[in-house]
A and B are shown apart, each in its own frame.
Chain A
Amino acid sequence: MKNIITVLFCFFILGAYAQDEFINNVKLSRVELRKDIIAKGLKYDGTKTTYFQYSEKDQHKAIEIAVFLRDNYHFFFDGTYAESKVSVEVYDLTPENPNRLLLYEIKNISGKKVNISMEEIMKRYLSYGGDPETLNSLHINYIIKSAKQNRGAVTLSLGF
């Protein structure tokens, strides 16, 4: 019995270590993203990491950002810790609204860093006939494609 418990305990320690390493790496990538923003001459305004678990089914996770608080937000996405495909879609309205417009799309953020500005999004919004004055929030949709069960994360940092 003692031996079984010892073996299981070793498994537990190894598993916990792997989880901690993943989380620590994501946290370090957040620090790097902040440096990227400052290196571009912008001010940093916060970060949101979306954590998920890949599964055999596609999944959706969404975040909402109030965009009226700053003049021109820049959105820095980091998909370094998303091993398999994750698409990023930016909309003007909530997922429940059938009239929402797709304002920007990143086909696959996995392993990449991408940044876009509010200016670019606004141009697209105007071209669809949207009134920029009414756009006080953006809704970002992550489509996490089915893949081998593993942890993943996409970080979004805001600069202005």
Chain B
Amino acid sequence: MREGSVYCIIFIILRLKEKLKLMNTYQKLTLLGASLLLITSCSNNEENATDKNLKKTAMIEVDTTDVYTSNDYDFVLPRPFALVTSFEEAGMDFVASRMNDPKNIEKYTTDGKQLLNFGVYSSDLVYSIINNQAQSSITNFNAIKGLADKIGMGSIFSKEELALEIEKNIANRDEMESLLIDVYERSQEYLENNEMRVLAAIQFSGAWFEGMYLATFDLDKKEKKKLSHTVVDHMSLLKHAIKGLEAYTDRGANIDELLTEMKSLQNTYNELRSIKEAKGFPELTLEEIKVVATKIHKIRSLIIS
């Protein structure tokens, strides 16, 4: 057996070590059969090894557990529509220049940045829809489609002409809410089916920060009690955004910096007097909300840069 075959066997064993624990005898037998076939094909196809290695380095490096065995502790990632609309009561005026410029999609060349901004544009799209901004909804939707193509999940729009349905209903809030859930679920399914489940949390992080960013303007004009309540509720989601980025092992310098800032935001929030001394549900002072908002705005500029 040549060197390539040995590597092939090691790869199979490492990849399937966790799954083996979960299999019964019958499944193990079938796996043995498959492994034998793979070993045979490995030793007979040395010339393909270089190609395979090239493809492997081009893949997104993530921790891939069995996509159909759930984690012991999981979180239902909120949909961008629910995230953004939950700020409506606290007030969220439409200002087009606050959204991420759709032209920026050309700048996002890494998987992490593309997924984060897929989330950002999803929230911008909801922000446009709930403010009846049809033109802005279309440009944001096109940005999402563009990023989906870059990530490799453009196919989520081709099924059942979902893109056409969205363009047709772009001014209809109820229809759009339902259609965007479809987009979200298809993107989740795509990531799960391609063993990239962990990346869904990155998409959520982008959507969450954009929602918080859009909701934290004109603070002096807003009803402080409602705003405080919304900010405190939403801050309970930050830990999930942090976990999402931590689980993404191929972060690079930019995303590492982002993660550091997110942890710093969590620490700053935990150290706020109203949080530390809260008996029951905390109520933040306006100054404390401003401290959180300043950090959110800084992190958001890192995400879209």
The A-contacting residues of B in range 187-246, CB under 8 angstroms, are 229, 233, 236-237
Which of B27, B40, B233 is close to A5, meaning CB atoms less than 8 Å apart? B40
Q: How many A-B residue pairs have CB under 8 A?
A: 108
- Residues of B within 8 A of A (CB-CB), count: 39
Which of A9, A12, A14, A44 is close to B178, meaning CB atoms less than 8 Å apart? A44
* Contact between B177 and A47, CB atoms less than 8 A apart: no
Residue of A nearest to B74 (CB): A63
A49 CB contacts on chain B under 8 angstroms: 70
C-alpha spacing A23/B281, complex, angstroms: 42
Contact with B along A6-34 (1 / 0, CB 8 A): 01110110111001000100000000000
* Contact between A149 and B24, CB atoms less than 8 A apart: yes
C-alpha spacing A86/B72, complex, angstroms: 15
C-alpha spacing A19/B68, complex, angstroms: 10
* Contact between A61 and B236, CB atoms less than 8 A apart: no
- Residues of A within 8 A of B (CB-CB), count: 43
C-alpha spacing A156/B75, complex, angstroms: 12
Residue with the greatest number of chain B CB neighbours at <10 A, chosen from A5, A60, A66: A66
* Contact between A64 and B68, CB atoms less than 8 A apart: no
The A-contacting residues of B in range 80-98, CB under 8 angstroms, are 82-83, 85-86
* Contact between B27 and A47, CB atoms less than 8 A apart: no
- Contact stretch, chosen from B30-38, B124-132, B290-298: B30-38
Contact with B along A97-118 (1 / 0, CB 8 A): 0000000000000000000000
B167 interface residue, CB < 8 Å from A?
A: no
Which of A5, A46, A70 is close to B181, meaning CB atoms less than 8 Å apart? A46
* Contact between B73 and A62, CB atoms less than 8 A apart: yes
* Contact between B34 and A12, CB atoms less than 8 A apart: yes
Give, as a whole number of angstroms, the nearest-CB distance from B200 to chain A: 11
* Contact between B76 and A50, CB atoms less than 8 A apart: no
Residue of B nearest to A19 (CB): B68
The B-contacting residues of A in range 40-78, CB under 8 angstroms, are 43-53, 60-66, 68-70
Known: A5-B33, A46-B181. A66 touches B68 (CB 8 A): no
Give, as a whole number of angstroms, the nearest-CB distance from A7 to chain B: 8
B252 interface residue, CB < 8 Å from A?
A: no
A50 CB contacts on chain B under 8 angstroms: 70, 74
* Contact between B30 and A15, CB atoms less than 8 A apart: yes
A43 CB contacts on chain B under 8 angstroms: 177-178
A134 interface residue, CB < 8 Å from B?
A: yes
Residues of B within 8 A of A (CB): 22, 24, 26-27, 29-34, 36-37, 40, 68-76, 78-79, 82-83, 85-86, 177-178, 181, 184-185, 229, 233, 236-237, 280-281
Interface pairs (8), CB distance under 8 Å = A12-B37, A15-B27, A19-B68, A45-B82, A51-B70, A62-B74, A69-B82, A158-B76
Question: Nearest 10 pairs between A and B by C-beta?
Answer: A8-B33, A15-B30, A69-B82, A68-B233, A149-B24, A11-B30, A12-B30, A53-B22, A133-B281, A50-B70
Known: A15-B31, A46-B184, A137-B236. 7 other contacts (CB 8 A): A8-B37, A9-B37, A12-B30, A61-B70, A62-B72, A66-B78, A68-B233
